[in-house]
Structure 1
Amino acid sequence: MVMQDGGTVDVRPGPDPGRAAPEHRDAYLLTGLCLALYAGALLAWTVCGIVQGDGSAWDFIEGLFNPGSAAAPSLLGPYEWAFTAAFLVIAGLALARRRLARSAALLSGFLLLAASLREGVGLCHAAYRHEYSNDPLGSWALATRGLGLVVALVVLCVMFPATERWRSARPAGRSAPAPEADWRRSSRICGVLFLLMGLARLGWVVADLTAADADALRYLRDAVDGSVLGTLDMSASAAFTTLGSVFVLLVLGVLAFRGRREVRGALLVFAAMELYLTVRTVVWLTVTDFFNQSVETTAGALSMATTAYGLAAMTSVVVLATGRGFGPYGGVRAEGFRTPAVGRHGGV
């Protein structure tokens, strides 16, 4: 408190707009613990793959960024590696009760639920159930799948009600203040970038499925049925990850373009994951000398253009979503100072 012209001015900082309300503490705590537990299970599978494989830990590290590293030992794939890191980050944000964690946790819950339902469809087939009973690690794989389903349901159930009431600082009859205009502009840019990436990837899927030698029905079944490949594999199939990424890119793109404040966490996490996977693709294109061969065909040139756009777009989304002008979690606090009393001359 300070005195000015006989008035009292409260200069204590206001509530942190990036922190969830106290009544949501339990929801964020439970979400953080569940995601950390599942990330620990994925880390255990990663370590198991390194121990059982012929390569070393250094080979695994190389394989994180070089898809052509044949000696890289692993029972999981790049999507699982990306999700492991994402789960750990989201868990940390949730335990710190950051609002940023809510949409990211909901995205994780939906994707985990989709993967669990796909596995559930596969378990309806007797031959696929025998794969679990015959594999030495089958019981552990089934337990991990079950844990993923439980984590998904818990996260979705506790985080959906943990909504925040946004308060607008815009006076009646006036245009949007600069901070609000900044985050809305950044959100729309991210939405456009996501939508274009999703449409480009969808175009490639359609082109692949309409090719002369394509088995479109098997590809679509593989996206929703874990038994199509006929083998027990902890890593997700290409059909599931591709169609899933298209769906997420389009949905998040629409939400971001509409200026939804709470979508920032999901944008940031998914863009970071896509950026990592795109970097792996660029490394593979480099080591296989595909850059020099891509211009020889139209499809190769379009593939290169899509990869270049993905690299630029996902980097831009990460930068914009991390920036201080995006959403209510960054920039100048609207309630940075509380002023119960003002001086006689209108000064604070």
Structure 2
Amino acid sequence: MAMQDGAALDVRPGPDPARAAPEHHGAYHTTALFLSLYATALIGWTVYGIIQGDGTVRDFVEGLFNPGASPASQLVGPWEWAFTAALLATAGLALTHRRLARTAALLCGFLLLALSVREGVGLFDAAYRDRYGIDPLGGWALATRALGLVVAVTVLAAMFPATEQWRSGRGATPPSRGRPRRLSRICGVLFLLMGLARLALTVRTLTTPGMDAARYLRGVVDGSVLGTLNVAASSEFTTAGSVVVLLVLGVLALRARRDIRGALLVFAAMELYLTVRTVVWLTVTDFFNQSFETPEGALSMATTAYALAAMTSVVVLATGRGFGAPETYGEAASPTTE
């Protein structure tokens, strides 16, 4: 406190806009705990797959980036590895009360909820339900899915209400809204273009002669389509899910009314890892030299190149200081005095 003209003037520094308010620390701690639990479960499946597989730890490490070196008997795949890293990173941010963690956690929660709903739809199939009793790992797989549902509901319930209105202290200068919103819109455009390109490729695949489009679309929402128990998400789910997330986050970032940097950063990092892995595979298989022989190959190469550049750009922009604090998106009240 200080005195000015006989009146008390509060000169204490205002709250850090990059961190959650104290009343939300419990929600952030709960989120960190539950995300870590599910990440631990995925790590357990990964370790079990390495132990039971015909490869070595060295093969697994090399297979993280080189699909050709990855053992075929893995119980979880690249999408789960990327998702595990995203869960752990988000949990770390939440544990330190970084507001960046909120939208990242909400994204993880929605992805987990979608996986759980897909598995729930599959359980309506009697033959698929029976496999949980026949398969030696059926009980553990079911427990993992149940844990995913609990984690998803808990994280969403904890983080949705964890919004806050920041108020600057006396004499504070309102932050500039131009640059952060401009960067958000750039990320939004990059996400939207990527989502539309992937949607076009998916539609082209579904309209290919001989392609069972109905079965593909059913595989997006029904876990029983493959007929086997899989902890790893199907390619149909990951492809359709990426299209939806890219388009939704792209629209939200383009509107630039809320700071969704955490979700942008987490998903862009996941996509960047998967894209780099694809590039490595194209390199070791010498597909680069044959890619432009067909229109499909050329389109696939162009999409991969764009994904590599776009997701790298989003990661760089989202980790920079240019995005600013939550106030720059209109989430805070105007400066007031107390």
Which whole-Å CA distance do the structure 2 matches of 1:339 and 1:250 have between them?
37
Alignment of 1:176-187 (within 5 A): 179-187=176-184
Please tell me whether the aligned partners of residues 128 and 227 of structure 1 are also in contact (alpha carbons under 8 angstroms): yes
- 2:251 is matched with 254
Which whole-Å CA distance do the structure 1 matches of 2:293 and 2:167 have between them?
56
> Unaligned 5+ residue runs, structure 2?
none
Please tell me whether the aligned partners of residues 168 and 336 of structure 2 are also in contact (alpha carbons under 8 angstroms): no
Deviation at 1:262, TM superposition (A): 2.6
Q: CA RMSD in A?
A: 2.7
- 2:264 is matched with 267
- 1:114 is matched with 114
Alignment of 1:207 onto 2:204: yes
Which whole-Å CA distance do the structure 2 matches of 1:140 and 1:225 have between them?
20
- 2:164 is matched with 164
- 1:23 is matched with 23
- Residues 1:279 and 1:273: Cα distance change in structure 2 (over 3 Å): same
Which whole-Å CA distance do the structure 1 matches of 2:104 and 2:70 have between them?
33
- 2:134 is matched with 134
Please tell me whether the aligned partners of residues 179 and 325 of structure 1 are also in contact (alpha carbons under 8 angstroms): no
Give the count of matched residue pairs: 330
Alignment of 1:53-132 (within 5 A): 53-71=53-71, 74-132=74-132
Which whole-Å CA distance do the structure 1 matches of 2:327 and 2:266 have between them?
16
Please tell me whether the aligned partners of residues 166 and 327 of structure 2 are also in contact (alpha carbons under 8 angstroms): no
Which whole-Å CA distance do the structure 1 matches of 2:239 and 2:168 have between them?
38
Deviation at 1:179, TM superposition (A): 3.4
Q: TM-score, normalised by structure 2?
A: 0.91
Deviation at 1:260, TM superposition (A): 2.9
Paired amino acid for 2:210: D
Deviation at 1:74, TM superposition (A): 2.2
What does the per-residue CA deviation read over 1:129-166, in whole Å, with 9 as the maximum and x for residues that have no partner? 12111111110010000000000000111111111225
Paired amino acid for 1:59: D
Query: Which of 243, 247, 250 is the matching residue for 2:240?
Result: 243
> Unaligned 5+ residue runs, structure 1?
341-348
Per mean C-alpha deviation after superposition, the further-off stretch among 70-79 and 51-60 is: 70-79
Which whole-Å CA distance do the structure 2 matches of 1:2 and 1:325 have between them?
33
What does the per-residue CA deviation read over 1:315-347, in whole Å, with 9 as the maximum and x for residues that have no partner? 00001111101031699xxx9xx999xxxxxxx
- Residues 1:241 and 1:2: Cα distance change in structure 2 (over 3 Å): same
The structure whose RCO (Cα within 8 Å, separation 6+) is larger is 1
- 1:301 is matched with 298
Q: TM-score, normalised by structure 1?
A: 0.88
Please tell me whether the aligned partners of residues 193 and 313 of structure 1 are also in contact (alpha carbons under 8 angstroms): yes
Q: In terms of Rg, which structure is larger?
A: 1
Please tell me whether the aligned partners of residues 18 and 98 of structure 2 are also in contact (alpha carbons under 8 angstroms): yes
Please tell me whether the aligned partners of residues 185 and 256 of structure 2 are also in contact (alpha carbons under 8 angstroms): yes
Which whole-Å CA distance do the structure 2 matches of 1:70 and 1:81 have between them?
13
- 1:192 is matched with 189
Which whole-Å CA distance do the structure 1 matches of 2:288 and 2:12 have between them?
57
Alignment of 1:218 onto 2:215: yes
Alignment of 1:309-324 (within 5 A): 309-324=306-321
